[in-house]
Amino acid sequence: MTNGSADAVHVDERLLGRYIEELGRIGESPDGGMSRFLYDRAWQQARDTLVGWIREAGLEPRVDAVGNVFGRLPGASDRVVLTGSHVDTVPSGGKYDGALGVVGGLAALAALAGSGTPARTLEVVALCEEESSRFPANFFGTRAMLGLIGPDEPQRLRDPDGVLLADAMREAGLDPAAIGTAERHDLDAFLELHIEQGRVLADEGVDIGLVEVIPSIAWETITVRGRQDHAGATPMDLRQDALQAAAQMAREITGLVEQEGRPAVATTGRWTVEPGLPSIVPGLARFSLDLRHPDLAVRDRLLAGVHRICTDVAQRHGVQVDVTREKDEEPAAMDRQLLDVCRQAAEACGASWKEMPSGAGHDSQLMATRVPTAMVFVPSVAGRSHTPAEYTELADCVRGASVLATALHRLAF
Ligand code: HGY
Ligand code: MN
Ligand code: MN
């Protein structure tokens, strides 16, 4: 079904609106945010709902060994042009991050299903995990498709309640021993539709972002051990207060990255303080560091500065500090030829566009290491994301999904 200028393919607005609203209720937390984590009840309900929608759209549903959900539109060739994004969320997240790429891709394939048999097979995927919200599984769905799951992960990774990944898989009806069957070697291209999660498109009034590069991401855990003491009987000058030392580290790390300037960003978003009673000087403080930059060398130079700060502050405060690396994602340049196809698709849809870097990390940065990959952004109102306030206008969702459908049509038909 093509209409409008040139070969623009327009998705069904009502269908996409229904998908967004109904998926946006699965895992809704009391604060109105989304909490849908790998293999939990809400994740299982989303998986089953998507299988139903895929079937309704006339596509072939398939769930792989790690719970990636696929909808397939068979083509003359078995080579696959894949679109999609992640179905899991951050705690108290929004209903567009990841989800829009899943249901926008589904609406795009539903619109293309009526255009005859494509030359290449088209698939949409709901990737099982991207956010590391429950398990430190880090792009688990994409890593399964690329054969990058470590053999020990199902028996090693645990969620905050101590549940093993392998047990959570079995609970969701999946067999950890079958993970190897999820590996794919038939992918020719991957296109991911996603909300920008920043405010560039909204501030500039541009419809579509064509992502040039996704930044490198490093996650580190910084653990500070001081001396646990009585809050009343221990003079200030005799303390080895773990929290005060950790707070000083965080403040100096933030200052280092602020001095570097945009696009460098650092966030210390998760803290643990023990024992955590008002009448006790903390003996232990642990905090997370999320450090990003599109240039790996700059990111690593900043990390070296971070480690110097931790050592210096620990000496000044008479405490021990230990730094462990939890995540290390390389930056990824998007495929220029695919970006040109997406630009032509945006123009065919009458959408304004700009090339831009991504601030957020995405499955695309890992997929791009094996498969030509590109991302299409739509505006986030006020640049808000990873919050219940995350919002994108339906018209922008429809425009982004139609640009995606038009690009997929050019690639696969
Ligand atoms: O952290 C990120 O950028 C992504 O939302 N996981
Ligand atoms: Mn996210
Ligand atoms: Mn995302």
Of 330, 407, 326, 413, which is closest to residue 374 (Cα–Cα)? 407
Q: Best mutation site among 362, 363, 384, 385 for ligand 1, i.e. most ligand atoms within 8 A of its Cβ?
A: 362
- Percentages helix, strand, coil for the chain (3-state, rounded to 5) are 35, 25, 40
Residues with CB in 5 Å of ion ligand 3 = 97-98
For residue 104, tell me if it sits in a domain.
yes
* Residue where one domain finishes, among candidates 329, 345, 375: 329
Residue 116 lies in a domain: yes
Residues 315 and 350 both lie in one domain? no
One domain, residues 240 and 266? yes
The pLDDT, as a whole number, for residue 83 is: 99
Residue 373 and residue 394 in one domain: yes
Would you say the C-alpha torsion 277, 282, 283, 288 has a positive or negative sign?
A: positive
Q: Assess whether 103 and 194 both reside in one domain.
A: yes
C-alpha 15: how far from chain center: 24
DSSP 3-state assignment of 223?
Answer: strand
Let me know: does 93 contact 197? Beta carbons within 8 Å.
no
CA gap 66, 396 in Å, rounded: 31
Rounded to an integer, what distance in angstroms lies between the CA atom of residue 126 and that of residue 397?
17
| SS3 label, residue 412 | helix
End-to-end Cα spacing for the chain: 12
Q: Which listed ligand is nearest to 100 at the C-alpha?
A: 3
Domain count, the chain: 2
Residue 324 carries which side chain, given as an amino acid letter? T
pLDDT single digits (tens) 243-266: 999 999 999 999 999 999 999 999
pLDDT for 6:
59
Q: Name the nearest CA neighbour of 286 among 318, 322, 328.
A: 322
Question: What is the distance between the alpha carbons of residues 246 and 259, in angstroms, rounded to a whole number?
Answer: 20
Q: Which of the listed residues 277, 310, 329 is the one where a domain comes to its end?
A: 329
131 CA closest ligand 1 atom index: 6
Spell out which residues have Cβ within 5 A of ligand 2, the ion: 97
Assigned domain for 1 exists = no
Interior angle at CA 265, CA 264 and CA 270, nearest 5: 155
pLDDT value of position 1: 37
Residues 121, 20: one domain?
A: yes
Ligand 2 centroid – CA 131 distance (Å): 6
What letter does residue 195 receive in the DSSP assignment? Answer: E
User: Which residue of 129, 130, 289 sits with most ligand 1 atoms within 8 Å of its CB, as the best mutation to test the pocket?
Assistant: 130
5 lies in a domain? no
Q: What is the sign, positive or negative, of the torsion defined by CA atoms of 155, 158, 164, 170?
A: negative
- The residue range of the domain holding 350 is 13-214+331-412
Q: Which residues line ligand 1 (CB under 6 A)?
A: 130-131, 360-361
Residue 362: inside a domain, yes or no? yes
Whole-number pLDDT of residue 7: 87
Structure letter (DSSP) for residue 383: G
**CATH code of residue 272:** 3.30.70.360
Distance 181 CA to ligand 3 centre (A): 25
Cα 150 to Cα 359: distance, rounded to the nearest angstrom: 28
Q: What is the CATH number of the domain that holds 128?
A: 3.40.630.10
**Sign of the dihedral through C-alpha 361, 363, 367, 373:** negative
* pLDDT score, position 31: 85
Residues 186 and 75 sit within 8 Å (Cβ to Cβ): no
At 208 the three-state DSSP class reads strand
237 occurs within a structural domain:
yes
Distance 364 CA to ligand 3 centre (A): 10
Same domain, 282 and 147: no
Residue ranges, the chain, pLDDT below 50: 1-4
Domain C-terminal end among 277, 302, 329: 329
Q: Of all atoms in ligand 1, which is nearest to the CA of residue 361?
A: 3
Do 87 and 226 belong together in one domain?
A: no
Question: Do 85 and 188 belong together in one domain?
Answer: yes
pLDDT tens-digit readout, 358-396: 999 999 999 999 999 999 999 999 999 999 999 999 999
Q: 73 and 58, same structural domain?
A: yes
In a domain, 303, yes or no: yes
Asked whether residue 70 falls in the same domain as residue 161, the answer is: yes
- Considering the domain architecture, whether residues 280 and 304 belong to the same structural domain is answered as yes
Is residue 143, in this structure, part of any structural domain at all? yes
Kind plus residue range of the DSSP H or E element containing 127? strand 120-127
Rounded to two decimals, the pTM is 0.94
Instruction: State whether 55 and 175 are in the same domain.
Output: yes
- The DSSP H or E segment spanning 353 is strand 353-356
